[in-house]
Amino acid sequence: MLPFNLDQLVLGFDRALRVVSGQAAASRANPAADISHDALSDEDKRHSAGLMRINHVGEVCAQALYDAQSLFSNSEEVKRQFMHSGMEEEDHLAWTAQRLQELGSRPSLLNPLWYTGAFACGAIAARCGDQASLGFVVETERQVEAHLESHLEKLPADDAKSRAIVDKMRTDEIAHGAAAAALGASSMPPPVHAVMKAMARVMTATAYYV
């Protein structure tokens, strides 16, 4: 018997449509809400927008991963953790979308492709068992943490709003990885690490522009 029903599939499809169409809603206040708009040059705005577009794509992928992993998980405890992390990732999705709008830019035109690919990866990880699925989260969040730290260095010095969002995202990603590890995550083999890094490089190089 499949671990989900038709209602879950319909809800999941509706959620996917909302994610790729940019209709995410945050449940927490935007960490940059109280920071005044920065007087950035056009060049700095373009650079910040490229970086924040990458981060927005990362959150589209996070929604897909957690949606797939919670759908195919066999443990209610693991499902709840994935759903909780997914809710916080939706905050990130909404915050980065708002920041892109403030910078006069847009999300990636390839979001449907990013979501589909990430959902497939999450489903494969989940079908390997909950420990492997949790291990996939731990490794993903580790790589995302490093990626966000690099963006804190690359963002224009005067872009305090983007920095506040990225820093809060980084803190949340660390917590998501720790929560997955605490539930009994298994270690990912080195070839999986390498494939994940290669996929991330393709995504970041493309999403900065498209």
pLDDT at residue 17 is higher than 70: no
Which pLDDT score is estimated for 2? 47
Which pLDDT score is estimated for 36? 86
Q: How many CB atoms lie within 10 A of CB 27?
A: 9
Instruction: Say what the pTM is.
Output: 0.91
CB 192 within 8 A of CB 139: yes
Distances (CA, A) of 79 to 70, 82, 89, 180: 5, 5, 15, 11
Q: Which residue has the tokens 């709008």?
A: 101
Q: What is the pLDDT of residues 91-140, one digit of tens each?
A: 999 999 999 999 999 999 999 999 999 999 999 999 999 999 999 999 99
3-class SS of residue 40: coil
Q: What is the pLDDT of residues 140-199, one digit of tens each?
A: 999 999 999 999 999 999 999 999 999 999 999 999 999 999 999 999 888 888 888 899
**Given pLDDT bands bounded at 50, 70 and 90, which one contains residue 43?**
very high
- How far apart, in whole angstroms, are the C-alpha atoms of residue 207 and residue 94? 17
Of 20 and 210, the structure prediction assigns the larger pLDDT to 210
Give the domain ranges of the chain. Answer: 63-207
- How far apart, in whole angstroms, are the C-alpha atoms of residue 117 and residue 120? 5
Q: What is the pLDDT of residues 73-91, one digit of tens each?
A: 989 999 999 999 999 999 9
Q: Up-side HSE of residue 204: CA atoms within 13 Å toward CB?
A: 14
The H or E element containing residue 44 is helix 42-72
- How far apart, in whole angstroms, are the C-alpha atoms of residue 62 and residue 172? 12
- Options 2.115.10, 1.10.3470, 1.20.1260, 3.40.50; CATH for 63-207 is 1.20.1260
